[in-house]
Chain A
Amino acid sequence: MAAIGDMFYTWAADADVLKKGECGGAITALQQYALSSGMVDAVLAVRKGADIYDAVPTFITNPAEVAETAGSLHCGTLLLSKLVKDYLDSNKTARLGVTVKGCDTMGLIELAKRDAVDLDRLILLGVNCGGSVSPVLARKMIREKFEVDPDLVHKEEIDKGQFIIEYEGGHKGIKIDDLEDEGYGRRSNCRRCLYKVPRQADLACGNWGVIGDKAGKATFVEVCSKKGANLLDAAVKAGAVKTEPAIPKGIEIRGKVEGAMLNLGNKWRKKNFEALASDLWGTIGRETGRCIKCYSCIENCPVCFPAAEDLKGKSRMVISGEVPPNPMFHLRRFAHISDSCINCGQCEELCPMDIPLALFSHAIRTEGDSAFEPKLGKAPYTN
């Protein structure tokens, strides 16, 4: 019987899922099992769309279709939390199995704090996350830095500090550090992210620490909750997945890699935040001075819930029809999310004017956390 804190190597029993999966297909097999056994009514996972740069969140109710979501899409710069909320809102009693990265998990925690989602109705299959790459930049990077036609690439992964592509006729890896120094690589919020192993999900899964003959063929699973333990036990019992205890040396390696990633994240924080501090008002003023008031940053924020339907009308300081809007348009949003920004990067990624919004709100949150306790209580994650 699995217990909280236990660590396993896990892989799919089904040969097809084993092959399609990123690292043995454990997550896919667990999702499939949760759905077919009735533990959940639907699964939310990510499917490959037109190509590997096109990550499409998909709700699935037919267990046979879950296999379509196997594999990791590192250009899937998505945030699933608000989709989960919408699903739970419109399916009043349904339970949902969701594959979550760190930011998806933090988004759901913040929503739960606001009573906007009920975590009891969710099974969260967490994936460790080293970061994601914006699809447009990824294509450019592959063309210019790897000198490979991005349409010929059928697989990409981040492993051992390298961004690696496999394409018709070969594979190539370049050090992430080198790519990022030249402005390519992971999104800027991902570089600063310190939530690498999502221990607030029910299971935390990843490839770090899988060594020996299972390397590349199994997923490292850390059991993080009673619900996670139950799912794993039941899936093993039903023959959906196979497990063996993680090798101690593998556990040690996983800890080291996680530590190295956190160091790297802290290095980026220092770099980004110190640069910002050198001209804080100037930078925020200049950058937000390009705003066209499209409201995308508000719509896509997991913690922004416009209180008034007439948010889009005028207030005393933010008058209507003005572009760029009065700086209060941004200040009031920063104030609103000040102690809950999870640094998921959606505001920044989806801003049509390329304003580095996450940099600002993330800096505010981390500085805030160093001085004050969040109003809704200390978060169970650190970011």
Chain B
Amino acid sequence: MNGAKVIYADPRYTATARQADLYMPFVSGSDVAILNGLMQEIIKNGWEDKEFIAKRTKDYEKLKEVVMKDAYSLENVSKISGIPVESLKTAAEWLGTTKPGAILYSMGITQHTVGVDNVKSVANIQMLLGNLGKPGSGVNALRGQNNVQGACDMGALPVVFTAYQKVTDAAVHKKFADAWGFPDGICEPKNGYEVTVMMDVLTDNPGELKCMYIMGENPMLSDPDLNHVRHALESLEFLVVQDIFLTETAEMADVVLPAACYAERNGTQTSTERRVQMWRKAQDPPGEAKEDWQIISELAAKMGYAKQFPYQSAEEIFTEVAAVTPSYHGMNYERLSKPEALHWPCPTLEHPGTPILHKEKFSHPDGLGIFTPIEWKPPAEVPDAEYPFVLTTGRVLWHWHTGSMTRRSATLDAEVPTGWIEINPEDAKALGIKDKEKVRAVTRRGSVEVPAKVTKDIMKGIMFMPFHFAECAANILTNNALDPIAKIPEFKACAVKVEKIMEA
């Protein structure tokens, strides 16, 4: 790493924490406070990048007004976050005096009711430090899957077509309607519901949504508040699930369509760095399983739209994507076949792609980066006398998501056969709980029985559960409170209590 320093903030002492030069355990949900505090310390010491702020940004004074408040002094931030003042000081100094610096984050920041605020705060501190638009800098989201970026780029969101072209934009709407040429037109230029919102609509307004077609996702284990999800899916008239295994969700379906797995199909995937990479088929899918695009095309044909779905290969579909998607416009299979592939935006066939964004200007109309002053807000649900601990959830290296694939691997199952709840030794002692003892974890939404893992690798006052395991599903407990903009649920913080299981 050429001597670069690593600062790591996480309530858990993970494998990554071991690599860090500075480890800062913190109370889940205190992100904005921490970042504001660091900014205050940076400004107090004059470590901000004055030239970058002057030339490339606006509204710095507004930011300053908020972050310089006494509420964000390191002493106060330390109280909110549990991070010692000394550590915060060191972090601010390293960030302020070592350039460039990159911030990498993942679901720990986004899966909050203030997820968008958290990400904007990361952008604030990076603009403050001039850490944007150059190698080794940036606001780097590490996405949870190999192709989340690609799925979002392809418009697998309820408000946009490909490459974030708004469905409500009349010109864009016409472009797609013309390109696809459906005799009866395409859906109205109106925003749809996010998945998490759909679950609420299903329970709150039965009959509004009648049918759901779920591909490669297992909300019966991965969505927050599983009792609520079950209720929602049961309210559907018709459920279709397309997956490679019979998941908990597929078990509830009226029709299951067998899909091909990653090794059985061609296509592209777009990584978190916006690199569009080729994906090559290694073997044929088993039995009746087919590639997703084939299933969809056949289904469309049955519904009378064979002409609009004439595809013979994944490449033909990519060519269509490139035609209607400005940031993919210059890409084709031949160019993508190189090992380095291409980063979007790549607007023309001659364009070399864009590994680094925002080199000269930002994407606002005036090209300036906007500082957004943000006040810290606690999570939707905070500990109280009845539920005295913060519960956070996440993944472990050995399993992926709902375990529909990884729990079928004997090797991975031997490494980690089931879930657990991590409890700090001091908390465990107070509760009279021993390592490996089965306990009951209870939140306002439900309760699960789960083995305790008493470990100093988790901060006092916080508990952690991996969410992969149906038999002790963390998401029975999590809170379905959503970020108002991104509609992402607060998987990373809710209030929990842990009880001993009394023998009858």
Which of these, B337, B410, B415, contacts A321 with CB under 8 Å?
Answer: B415
Task: Report whether B18 and A324 are in contact in the complex, using a CB–CB cutoff of 8 Å.
Answer: yes
Q: In the complex the two chains form, what is the Cα distance from A280 to B235 in whole Å?
A: 64
Task: Report whether B414 and A313 are in contact in the complex, using a CB–CB cutoff of 8 Å.
Answer: yes
Q: In the complex the two chains form, what is the Cα distance from A318 to B337 in whole Å?
A: 42
CB proximity of A359 to chain B, nearest CB, Å: 18
Q: In the complex the two chains form, what is the Cα distance from A153 to B208 in whole Å?
A: 61
A289: chain B residues within 8 A (beta carbon): 18-19
Which of these, A50, A312, A324, contacts B414 with CB under 8 Å?
Answer: A312
Which of these, B15, B18, B337, B396, contacts A50 with CB under 8 Å?
Answer: B337
Q: In the complex the two chains form, what is the Cα distance from A195 to B329 in whole Å?
A: 51
Task: Report whether A323 and B338 are in contact in the complex, using a CB–CB cutoff of 8 Å.
Answer: no
- Which residues of chain A (268-319) have a CB below 8 Å from chain B? 289-290, 292-293, 295, 310, 312-314
CB proximity of A330 to chain B, nearest CB, Å: 15
Q: In the complex the two chains form, what is the Cα distance from A139 to B15 in whole Å?
A: 31
Number of interface residues of A (CB under 8 A): 18
CB proximity of B196 to chain A, nearest CB, Å: 31
Say yes or no: is A320 at the interface (Cβ < 8 Å to chain B).
Answer: yes
A139: chain B residues within 8 A (beta carbon): 339-340
Q: In the complex the two chains form, what is the Cα distance from A312 to B417 in whole Å?
A: 13
Bitwise, A139-164 to B at CB < 8 A (1) or not (0) is 10000000000010000000000000
B338: chain A residues within 8 A (beta carbon): 151
Task: Report whether A310 and B414 are in contact in the complex, using a CB–CB cutoff of 8 Å.
Answer: yes
Q: In the complex the two chains form, what is the Cα distance from A139 to B414 in whole Å?
A: 39
Q: In the complex the two chains form, what is the Cα distance from A310 to B337 in whole Å?
A: 40
Task: Report whether A323 and B19 are in contact in the complex, using a CB–CB cutoff of 8 Å.
Answer: no
Task: Report whether A323 and B416 are in contact in the complex, using a CB–CB cutoff of 8 Å.
Answer: no
Task: Report whether B397 and A320 are in contact in the complex, using a CB–CB cutoff of 8 Å.
Answer: no
Task: Specify the chain A residue showing the minimal Cβ separation from B410.
Answer: A312
Task: Specify the chain A residue showing the minimal Cβ separation from B453.
Answer: A321
Say yes or no: is A220 at the interface (Cβ < 8 Å to chain B).
Answer: no
Q: In the complex the two chains form, what is the Cα distance from A321 to B455 in whole Å?
A: 14
Q: In the complex the two chains form, what is the Cα distance from A73 to B414 in whole Å?
A: 40
Task: Specify the chain A residue showing the minimal Cβ separation from B420.
Answer: A321
CB proximity of A222 to chain B, nearest CB, Å: 37
Task: Specify the chain B residue showing the minimal Cβ separation from A54.
Answer: B339
Task: Report whether B19 and A320 are in contact in the complex, using a CB–CB cutoff of 8 Å.
Answer: no
Task: Specify the chain A residue showing the minimal Cβ separation from B18.
Answer: A289
- Which residues of chain B (369-402) have a CB below 8 Å from chain A? 396-398
Task: Report whether B19 and A290 are in contact in the complex, using a CB–CB cutoff of 8 Å.
Answer: yes
Q: In the complex the two chains form, what is the Cα distance from A293 to B15 in whole Å?
A: 12
Task: Specify the chain B residue showing the minimal Cβ separation from A321.
Answer: B416
B411: chain A residues within 8 A (beta carbon): 295, 312
A334: chain B residues within 8 A (beta carbon): none
A321: chain B residues within 8 A (beta carbon): 396, 398, 415-416
Q: In the complex the two chains form, what is the Cα distance from A50 to B15 in whole Å?
A: 37
Task: Specify the chain B residue showing the minimal Cβ separation from A286.
Answer: B19
Q: In the complex the two chains form, what is the Cα distance from A53 to B338 in whole Å?
A: 11
CB proximity of B417 to chain A, nearest CB, Å: 8
Task: Report whether B416 and A320 are in contact in the complex, using a CB–CB cutoff of 8 Å.
Answer: yes
CB proximity of B167 to chain A, nearest CB, Å: 39
CB proximity of B439 to chain A, nearest CB, Å: 19
Q: In the complex the two chains form, what is the Cα distance from A257 to B93 in whole Å?
A: 55
B396: chain A residues within 8 A (beta carbon): 321
Bitwise, B272-308 to A at CB < 8 A (1) or not (0) is 0000000000000000000000000000000000000
Q: In the complex the two chains form, what is the Cα distance from A88 to B494 in whole Å?
A: 58
A323: chain B residues within 8 A (beta carbon): 15, 397
Bitwise, A167-205 to B at CB < 8 A (1) or not (0) is 000000000000000000000000000000000000000
Q: In the complex the two chains form, what is the Cα distance from A324 to B14 in whole Å?
A: 9
Task: Report whether B15 and A320 are in contact in the complex, using a CB–CB cutoff of 8 Å.
Answer: no
CB proximity of A147 to chain B, nearest CB, Å: 16
Q: In the complex the two chains form, what is the Cα distance from A50 to B339 in whole Å?
A: 10
- Which residues of chain B (10-64) have a CB below 8 Å from chain A? 15, 18-19
Task: Report whether B339 and A320 are in contact in the complex, using a CB–CB cutoff of 8 Å.
Answer: no
Q: In the complex the two chains form, what is the Cα distance from A310 to B19 in whole Å?
A: 30
- Which residues of chain A (45-73) have a CB below 8 Å from chain B? 50, 53
Which of these, B15, B410, B415, contacts A324 with CB under 8 Å?
Answer: B15
CB proximity of B151 to chain A, nearest CB, Å: 24
The residue among B396, B411, B414, B416 with the most chain A CB atoms within 10 A of its own CB is B414
A324: chain B residues within 8 A (beta carbon): 15, 18
A292 and B397 in contact, given A310-B414, A320-B414 (Cβ under 8 angstroms): yes
CB proximity of A233 to chain B, nearest CB, Å: 43
CB proximity of B410 to chain A, nearest CB, Å: 8
Q: In the complex the two chains form, what is the Cα distance from A63 to B415 in whole Å?
A: 47
Q: In the complex the two chains form, what is the Cα distance from A295 to B412 in whole Å?
A: 11
Q: In the complex the two chains form, what is the Cα distance from A293 to B410 in whole Å?
A: 15
Task: Specify the chain B residue showing the minimal Cβ separation from A143.
Answer: B340
Q: In the complex the two chains form, what is the Cα distance from A295 to B397 in whole Å?
A: 14
Q: In the complex the two chains form, what is the Cα distance from A293 to B397 in whole Å?
A: 10
Known: A292-B397, A310-B414. 6 other contacts (CB 8 A): A290-B19, A320-B415, A320-B416, A321-B396, A321-B398, A323-B397
Across the A-B interface, the 4 shortest Cβ-Cβ residue pairs: A321-B416, A313-B414, A323-B15, A312-B411
Sample (21) of A-B pairs whose CB atoms are under 8 Å apart? A50-B337, A53-B339, A136-B339, A139-B339, A139-B340, A289-B18, A292-B15, A292-B397, A295-B411, A312-B410, A312-B414, A312-B415, A314-B414, A320-B414, A320-B415, A321-B396, A321-B415, A323-B15, A323-B397, A324-B15, A324-B18
